Amino acid sequence: MKKILLLLSLLALASLISMNWMTLPSDTASPAPVVAKHGRSNKAPAESQAAHTLGQFTGLWGNTNSTSAPADKADPFDLLWARTLSPADQLEGKEDAQDQLRKLAQENPHYVKKLVALYDSETYAASRELIINLLASIPSAETLALSRRLASSPDSGQRKAALSMLGNLNINLQEERELILLSLNNQQVPAVALQALAALKAPAPAGIDGPPKPANNMLDSADTKTTAAVIRQLQSLTENPDATVRSRSISQLAQWDKNDSSLNYFSTALNDQIPEVRQAAIFAIAQSGTNAETVKQLLTSLVNNASETTIIKTSARQVLERLADNKHVAN
């Protein structure tokens, strides 16, 4: 393309020179120079025409792309993003730029899409974290789509990023639980699992949500499926190698499963080597309200175990007494 432009420019130059050469007056007919008042001669017509020809050529050469639209002004997004990446010693300016960038994206969906595209192309972890912090404060369809994509990523860091966005996405409870389930799927990294468990809101106690709705309600059907999926995921996490994950999942399981389908998991947790997990299992049994004989036997064995800690013995005894009181009231 450059070669073609160069050739066209040379041809234009040759044409202009030829035209001006033909129009130049002969030497015999050339008038004497006109002397100015201060003793200097004015330019002759030939000189002026030559200068004009050179100016035309220069203009042609300097505007080979003259048909293209003039360059747009710098995008404020790009200027603000550059400021957010300024050195750490310019902290005040960086925070101001971040606030302006957030406001810009909140007011114009185009910049939300630009932030998402920037996240995908960015390679530095700190820059990606900054983008997530900005997007987390901007509820939008693009932000939700990104969070779902990150939640299902095999990369644990991206799953954590999705969970950090969760609090500000302004989505309904079912969508929130589905996103958490995505982040927990095949999850073995304790930090991600604990973050997801902390974000998981337990179902409202009976009586707050009102009476059960008809089974043919599509939303209730989806809620039922989501609840079953959450229970299965929590049951799986009770076998996690990390003791804190096991204890937190046991505690959550007691709030989700009110049908005694998790009794085997509670029983296993009562025999866990870590006291924290055994304590969580005792409280979980109390929350579940179960009266299963198997559970009572395990609690009784804890009370009678000479090597068990005093705290766990006391907790187990209290739960046994409560279960006995509940059975008495039921009868």
| pLDDT tens column, 91-120 | 555 678 889 999 999 999 999 999 999 999
Which CATH number does the domain housing residue 227 bear? 1.25.10.10
Rounded distance between C-alpha atoms, residue 111 and residue 176, angstroms: 24
Residue with tokens 């500000």: 168
pLDDT at 218 over 60: no
In this prediction, residue 4 carries a pLDDT of 54
Residue pair 115/124 in contact by the 8 Å Cβ criterion: no
Of residues 190 and 169, more confidence is placed in 190
- Domain membership of residue 233 (yes or no) is yes
Check residue 288 and give its pLDDT: 80
What is the tens place of the pLDDT at every residue in 175-196?
889 899 999 987 778 999 999 9
Q: Is the pLDDT of residue 289 over 80?
A: no
Question: Which pLDDT value is given to residue 153?
Answer: 92
- Determine the pLDDT at residue 265: 93
Domain-located, residue 195: no
Using a 10 angstrom Cβ sphere, with 0-12 exposed, 13-18 middle and 19 or more buried, the burial of residue 94 is: middle
- Average pLDDT over the chain reads 76
**263 inside domain:** yes
Q: What is the mean pLDDT of residues 6-27?
A: 52
CA distance 303 to 315: 9
For residue 144, is it within any domain?
no
Which domain range does residue 247 map to?
Answer: 218-331
**Quick one: pLDDT band at residue 171, thresholds 50, 70, 90?**
confident
Whether 143 maps to a domain, the answer reads no
- 16 in a structural domain: no
**Domain count for the chain:** 1
- pLDDT greater than 60 at residue 251: yes
Indicate the pLDDT class of residue 317, thresholds 50, 70 and 90: very high
pLDDT at residue number 249: 95
Distance CA 119, CA 135 (A): 10
In a domain, 79, yes or no: no
Give the rounded percent of residues in the chain with a pLDDT score beyond 70: 67
What is the C-alpha to C-alpha distance for residues 331 and 325, in angstroms, rounded to an integer?
10
Report the b/e string of 131-169 with b at 16+ CB within 10 A: bbebbbebbbebbbebbbebbeeeebebbbbbbbbbeeb
Structural domain includes residue 303? yes
Query: Is the full-model pTM beyond 0.75?
Result: no
More confident residue, 187 or 247: 247
Reported as a pLDDT band with limits 50, 70 and 90, residue 68 is very low
CB 40 within 8 A of CB 61: no
